[in-house]
């Protein structure tokens, strides 16, 4: 049986952020886009391309983002992030970068998944064909199922978390997607368990995740102003 290739963290988060059957996002698209931007930064950190400035008393989102190596990783969106950091006149704070890079990242991530044959566009017509809606569904349920299964094994203690899956656990918990993993566990307890697993790995990865949380909080605050 051929092994299923591991997708970038960004793509797995996108799949877990949507209903497999309807294609509807589980959370606000802007919030998910901020999570996708965080996932891009985490993948770049794990690939040795970026670093965060030394830890001090500043909030995670205010830590500076530095380019450690500008060597491409061979992923269009990730390499665009490298180029964006390289072009900056100053090292951007993590939260500032997340906001800017997330701008059209939802659409870019979806387009990449369609081009890769992982998502397909489905057109539905309502009101006698007068109203048309486009949605995007997995071409094979194995893609979101495999990502959920890794988190399920992690939560149950059946597997030791690698850096990639621990980061996915942190993002899923932070974005409030835990309830959509289809586990029987209490959502609050499971969320804390996933956060604890993520917190045991790279400090910089958790700081990026915390910056995502802060940026999503800013988004919610702005909505009520």
Residue 170 lies in a domain: no
Domains contained in the chain, number: 1
Domain that holds residue 108: 9-139+203-219
Residue 113 lies in a domain: yes
Nearest to 92 by CA among 79, 101, 104, 103: 101
Residue 187 lies in a domain: no
Residue 150 lies in a domain: no
Which parts of the chain fold into alpha helices (H)?
A: 9-16, 29-46, 76-87, 94-101, 105-115, 142-155, 163-174, 187-199, 203-223
- pLDDT of 77 reads 97
**pLDDT mean across residues, the chain:** 90
Residue 92 lies in a domain: yes
Residue 122 lies in a domain: yes
- pLDDT of 29 reads 96
pLDDT in tens, 145-169: 999 999 988 888 887 889 999 999 9
Residue 186 lies in a domain: no
Residue 34 maps to which CATH number? 1.10.3630.10
- pLDDT of 55 reads 67
SS3 labels along 101-153? HCCCHHHHHHHHHHHCCCEEEEEEEECCCCEEEEEEEECCCHHHHHHHHHHHH
Question: Residue ranges of the chain with pLDDT lower than 50?
Answer: 1-2, 225
Residue 133 lies in a domain: yes
């Amino acid at each position: 049986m051929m092994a299923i290739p591991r997708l970038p963290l960004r793509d797995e988060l996108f799949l877990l952020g949507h209903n497999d059957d309807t294609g509807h996002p589980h959370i606000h698209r802007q919030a998910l886009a901020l999570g996708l931007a965080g996932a891009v930064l985490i993948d770049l950190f794990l690939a040795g391309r970026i670093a965060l400035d030394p830890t001090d008393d500043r909030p995670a989102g205010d830590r500076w983002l530095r380019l450690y190596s500008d060597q491409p990783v061979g992923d269009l969106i990730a390499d665009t992030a490298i180029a964006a950091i390289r072009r900056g006149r100053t090292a951007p704070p993590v939260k500032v970068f997340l906001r800017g890079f997330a701008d059209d990242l939802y659409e870019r991530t979806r387009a990449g998944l369609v081009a890769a044959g992982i998502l397909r566009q489905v057109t539905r017509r309502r009101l006698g064909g007068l109203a048309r809606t486009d949605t995007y569904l997995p071409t094979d349920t194995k893609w979101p199922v495999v990502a959920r299964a890794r988190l399920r094994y992690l939560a149950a203690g059946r597997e030791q978390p690698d850096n990639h899956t621990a980061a996915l656990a942190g993002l899923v918990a932070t974005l409030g997607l835990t309830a959509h993993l289809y586990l029987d566990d209490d959502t609050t307890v499971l969320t804390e368990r996933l956060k604890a697993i993520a917190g045991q790995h790279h400090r910089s990865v958790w700081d990026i995740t915390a910056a995502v949380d802060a940026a999503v909080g800013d988004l919610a605050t702005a909505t009520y102003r």
